[in-house]
Amino acid sequence: MPQRQYGTAVVDVDAEGFMTDPSRWTREIAAAIAREEGIAELTPAHWNVIEHMQKEFRETGQAPSIRRLSKGSVVSVKDLYALFPGGPARKAARIAGLKKPEGCV
């Protein structure tokens, strides 16, 4: 299984770079993944989405899709695309240390 190093942490990832063990996730890892995704700094709005995704994952065992994310989140779909350009559910899930949401290509 491939591994990635984020700061001092080395974590297992799948072929697309999603962490395979969400329990290893830290805010420092999230910041490093965000930089890889082209997000220089995670703002409070980013953290709200990330925390919501993790809550959904704990409750359902799956990362939420863009539809579920926008319905239960604190931001609109438009804002999700502004915060996580080029695929908000996919990018947010990766930053949150979760597997790729079902339905994402």
Q: Which residues are tagged catalytic? A: 104
* Residue 56 exposed, middle or buried by CB count within 10 Å (0-12, 13-18, 19+): buried
Of 80, 34, 73, 38, the C-alpha closest to 56 is 73
33-38: long-range pairs with CB below 8 Å, 24+: 33/6, 33/94, 33/95, 33/97, 34/95, 37/84, 37/91, 37/94, 37/95, 38/85, 38/86
